[in-house]
Structure 1
Amino acid sequence: MTIKDIAKEAGVSIATVSRVLNDSEHAVNENTRKKVLEIVKKYNFNPNTLASGLKSNRTYLIAVVVADITNSFFMDIGKGIENAIGNQKYSLVFADTHGDEKKELEVVKKLINRKIDGIVLASVSEKEDVLKECRKKNVPVVQVDRQIDDEDTNAVLWEDFRLAYTLAEHVIDKGHTNVAIENTRLGCSTGQHRLQGYLEAFRSQGIRIDEENISASNFEMQDAYEHVKSLLEKPKCPTCIICSNNIMVKGSLKAIQEKGLSIPEDISICCFGNIETNEYSLTDITNIQQDTRLMGRKAGELLLSQINEENHCSVKIKLSGKMIERSSVRQI
């Protein structure tokens, strides 16, 4: 069934059917409108959004570019974006960069060539190449979770430093001074600010963290697993592990389980971010809880305002979180 078929059955022109489907301001006889809509309903016809977008030069597609689409964190952000754009005819396209800067730039260039209307970006890069490419082609962008330093781009972020400080403060209050930190990627603002928050909390109490206990820049679960595994072989291994996201928790827990240690009796652990159900632990893990769907919704709203040219100034939104104390950090 096409618009042409509907026009033929209704005995009207294709232009008239198009006006009815697009709720055009051009007058259409009410009886004709009802007749067309009855036929549309009869055949369960869905108008082609791309075709209706030709006049407005829109594709009604919004891209969500992230490091790993299998990570529930990014999928929850996507659901929040859908909540914001769902009644605006837009559809989402997800693109996975696999944590690779070059791939990220390639992906964004391809999306721009597809005439994407806007991009929600969780970048893995410190460089502005992607943002420059979007700016050159006048494609609206909203950054989420992490930020490439750029004053002109809208962003929805976390209060990373403050929340990381709060999590480390909790660990200190429980008596832990020999602590390990499993970082996320330090090339991203998220990783940098969280590490700064942890270390400042320890510094404020005169506690020095052994550099060997601070992991390098991590992206994969395997990175955290290998670092924690090496730490657990030390004669005096850490009493608590602070993980900078849910992926680092998985790697850390795998190493702890293989060593045959129990949480929190043998070692404590906590995390910045939401925890998925995990095969490696039966213990509820103390964490900083994040409203990822709210982040997505805010990003979607900001992007729509850019697309509709309602927003002409840079907006930076910082979302808070809440520390949820559970049973994974013991008092020593």
Structure 2
Amino acid sequence: MAKNRKKITISDIAKQAGVSIATVSRVLGGSDYPVREEIKQKIIDIANQVGYKPNVFSQMLRKGKSCEIGIVVPSITNPFYSQLLSAAEQECLSQGYVPFICNSMSNQQLELNHLNMLEERNVAGIILSSVNSGDVLIERIKEMQMPLILFDQSFNGYKGDCIQFDFFKGAYLATEYLIQCGHRDIVFASGELDRRSRCLMYEGYKQALKDFNLSVSRRKVIYSFVEEQNFEKKDYYLGQELGKLLMQREYLPDAVVTVNDMIAIGLINHLKKENIQIPHDISVMGFDDIAISEMVTPALSTIHQPATETGSLAAKVLINRIKDISHDTVQILMQPSLVERDSVRKIHKKVRR
């Protein structure tokens, strides 16, 4: 049986570095107490070599302040938000903060409840991806007693820190690509247009049609919803429901723009059950570029959202705000890019002899 390894302490590091325990504590605890740079680097190198893991909760007690950061997202099962969470969590831990993860389940009231709980818990700061764009939430954010940053999406006129994505441009790129591939009858498939991100995507879709002199009609928009008990696979089931709506039409459209990859995958799988071939019979565009999108058949053409970069950057900005409440407001708009795979058919016109 393997013996339990002795836990490395700051006393062990102090002995190896030839310095006092107090000096090690100051360096690893992030103190402003002056320590010569070569000594500081020596202590950090030894700590990394021996795999020292500080007790962050003890640090919190010693400093008399919280090292917890609340992270609120609409879903922990959607791979896109999992990427955001993982990157934000890693950044928090690397800087000595403990992430406290909250799943709002796309429920506006639950989201508000999480914010109330985090404030009562007196966390150091909050990273929020909101499904709520109402005045109640905006006023609640203004009342928060700790730093807060919005990520993934923001609100019209929001003046605080935010790392958001250009949803309008992303949907424009997706629609433009379908048009350039020869498609003309293009449907926009979504859940209810009750989020700012979805509304911006719808506007981007319409603008691309207008710019290529194609008709814009509510007939080309399909949306649905699924019951809350299906939450873990909510977007996948939503895609299947949207597939059913497509099959109720007299004619299938040339192509479909969806608002996320999980919806696209659900839609494709339902169409396959109906013996519809993708992309031969209909082309499908996803949105997000989650890892599974290139593993399904056909591999999903989609719009890349830099989820990892967004999550990491949001955590960095928030921690900087915690450390220096006076720094300038940070508002960054992350840019989309097109990912070409196999779910879109390129239609070539026949050439006359």
Q: TM-score, normalised by structure 1?
A: 0.82
Task: Pick one of 245, 248, 251 that aligns with 1:230.
Answer: 245
Listed as ranges, the matches of 1:21-100 within 5 Å are 21-23=25-27, 48-100=55-107
Q: For residue 160 of structure 1, what is the aligned residue in structure 2?
A: 167
Aligned equivalents of 2:207, 2:143: Cα separation in 1: 39
Deviation of 1:212 after TM superposition, in Å, equals 3.3
Alignment of 1:165-184 (within 5 A): 165-184=172-191
**Contact preservation (8 Å) 1:152, 1:313:** no
> Which whole-Å deviations, capped at 9, do the CAs of 1:52-93 have from their partners, x for residues lacking one?
223544221111101110111111112222343333211212
**Equivalent residue, structure 1, for 2:210:** 203
1:311 to partner: Cα distance: 4.7
1:239 aligns with 2:254: yes
- AA at the equivalent of 1:191: R
1:114 to 121, 125, 143: 121
Is the 8 Å Cα contact of residues 127 and 148 (structure 1) preserved in structure 2?
no
Cα gap change, 1:25 to 1:195, in 2 (>3 Å)? closer
2:161 paired with 1:146: no
For the residues of structure 2 that align with 1:103 and 1:228, how far apart are their CA atoms?
29
Which residue is equivalent to 1:192? 199
SS in 1 for 2:153: coil
Residue of structure 2 equivalent to 1:271: 286
Q: Which amino acid aligns with 1:295?
A: T
- 1:251 and 2:255 are equivalent in the alignment: no
Name structure 2 gaps, 5 residues minimum: 1-5, 36-46, 226-233, 348-353
Distance 1:46-1:326 versus aligned 2 partners, 3 A rule: closer
Identity of aligned residues (%): 22
Cα deviation, residue 278, structure 1:
6.1
Contact 2:66 2:122 in 1 (8 A): yes
Structure 1 stretch displaced more, 126-135 or 321-330: 126-135
Tell me if 1:220 matches 2:235.
Answer: yes
Rounded Cα–Cα distance in structure 2 between residues aligned with 1:224 and 1:91: 35
Structure 2 vs 1, CA of residues 92 and 25 (structure 1 numbering), >3 Å: closer, same or farther? closer
Determine the C-alpha separation between the residues in 2 that align with 1:188 and 1:123.
9
Q: Partner residue of 2:302?
A: 287
In the alignment, the residues of structure 1 paired with residue 301 and residue 103 of structure 2 have an alpha-carbon distance, to the nearest angstrom, of 29
Is 1:301 the equivalent of 2:305? no
Cα distance, 1:194 vs. partner?
0.9
Unaligned runs of 5+ in 1: 11-15, 29-39
Aligned residues: 316
- Distance in 2, matches of 1:155 and 1:296, equals 11
Deviations 1:198-245 (A, max 9, x none): 111111222124423312365633233212212123221112111111
Amino acid at match of 1:92: P
Per-residue displacement from partner, 1:121-157 (whole Å, max 9, x unpaired)? 1101012434533442422111111113353321111
Q: Distance in 1 between matches of 2:33 and 2:287?
A: 54
| Cα distance change on mapping 1:22 and 1:130 into 2, 3 Å | farther
Q: Distance in 1 between matches of 2:238 and 2:279?
A: 22
Cα contact 2:189–2:257 (8 A) shared by 1? yes
TM-score for the superposition, normalised by structure 2: 0.78
* Greater Cα offset, 229-238 or 65-74: 229-238
1:22 Cα deviation (Å)?
Answer: 4.4
Change (3 A) 1:297 1:217: farther
The separation in 2 between residues aligned to 1:100 and 1:189, in whole angstroms, is 15
State the distance in 1 between where 2:34 and 2:115 align: 41
Task: Give the residue type in structure 1 aligned to 2:314.
Answer: A
